[in-house]
Amino acid sequence: MAQAATLNDAQIKRALRYCQSRRYVTRDSTILLFSIYTGLRAKELAALCVGDVYNEDGTVRPQFTLRAAQTKGARTRTVFVNAALTAQLLR
């Protein structure tokens, strides 16, 4: 099976610059960074709930678990949130 194409740094910067021209800058850039930093598919991103990513006190969870119904392979999966994504989610 072939490896999926990935974006290089220049392409990521260009995509983020494009997000800056959009009406919902924070939303669009957060979706892009979520995909890049966590490797989530569009279906997995769309299935996320606020409570999956944030604790009750509003802090960002360092990791969260995707339920089997949310994933492509119908298996639960732990997703780790790095510092750059945490900073974006706190905006």
Neighbouring C-beta atoms of residue 29, cutoff 10 Å: 19
pLDDT value at position 64?
A: 95
Segment 59-86 shows an average pLDDT of: 92
Contacts of 85 (CB under 8 A, 6+ apart): 33, 34, 37, 38, 60
Find tokens 């006190």 and name the residue: 57
pLDDT of residue 73: 82
DSSP 71: S
| pTM, rounded to two decimals | 0.83
Residue 65 CA to residue 28 CA, distance in Å, equals: 23
Tens-digit pLDDT profile for residues 3-56 = 878 899 999 999 999 999 999 999 999 999 999 999 999 989 999 999 999 999
Asked whether the beta carbons of 44 and 62 are under 8 A apart, the reply is no
Instruction: Report which DSSP code applies to 54.
Output: B
Predicted confidence at residue 14, as pLDDT, reads: 97
